[in-house]
Amino acid sequence: MLDILIVKNYKVVCNKEIDIKKDIKRYADSIKNKIPNKRKMKRIESKFIKLMEKDSEVKAMYKVAMSTTVISATNTVLVNAEPLVEVSQKIRTITNPVIELLAGLGYPITYGMLICGGLMVITGKKSKGLDIIKWACMGYIGLQFVPFLLGLLEMIGTELRMSL
């Protein structure tokens, strides 16, 4: 048994439960002695390709149908990662100004904390002042490594997705 759930525009369009083995056997029996006409097949294929080029919805439905075919043939789950990449890129574009603002605040905040730590040392609270200076420096260095670390994590995630 296979559950098929098709969602379009955040609404369930189709929700069915089918018996794949029975359907595949019925299909195999129906085409056993039939030989397809190659000329007709080529004409239908070219019409379909033109339709896919014109209509993006047909192209999207074709991807769903192909995914369903692969799932039923291999009995595995196939996830199309293209929309995930698009969503990830949109989120990155939207949040980029906020991220740049927060990264830009690292220098002035560190500068202020170093001044506070220096004032603490001057007023006699040496250990507290040096602790503030140490952690302000560590935090600033950590902020400088954030883009590198996130790029590395993204690369690892992409490789993991591709290998599954």
Alpha-carbon distance of 150 to 145, in angstroms, equals 9
Q: Check residue 42 and give its pLDDT.
A: 78
Between 1 and 106, the more confident residue is 106
Q: Check residue 53 and give its pLDDT.
A: 80
Alpha-carbon distance of 107 to 114, in angstroms, equals 10
The pTM score is: 0.43
* One domain for residues 106 and 139: yes
Q: Check residue 78 and give its pLDDT.
A: 46
Residue 134 — pLDDT band, cuts 50, 70, 90? very high
* One domain for residues 32 and 52: yes
Q: Do residues 4 and 18 touch, judged by C-beta distance below 8 A?
A: yes
Q: How many domains does the chain have?
A: 2
103, pLDDT greater than 70: yes
Residue 64 — pLDDT band, cuts 50, 70, 90? low
Decide: residue 114, CB within 10 A, 0-12 exposed, 13-18 middle, 19+ buried. middle
Greatest extent of the chain over all pairs of C-alpha atoms, in Å: 96
Q: Token pair 């007709």 is at which residue? A: 40
Residue 58 structural domain: 2-74
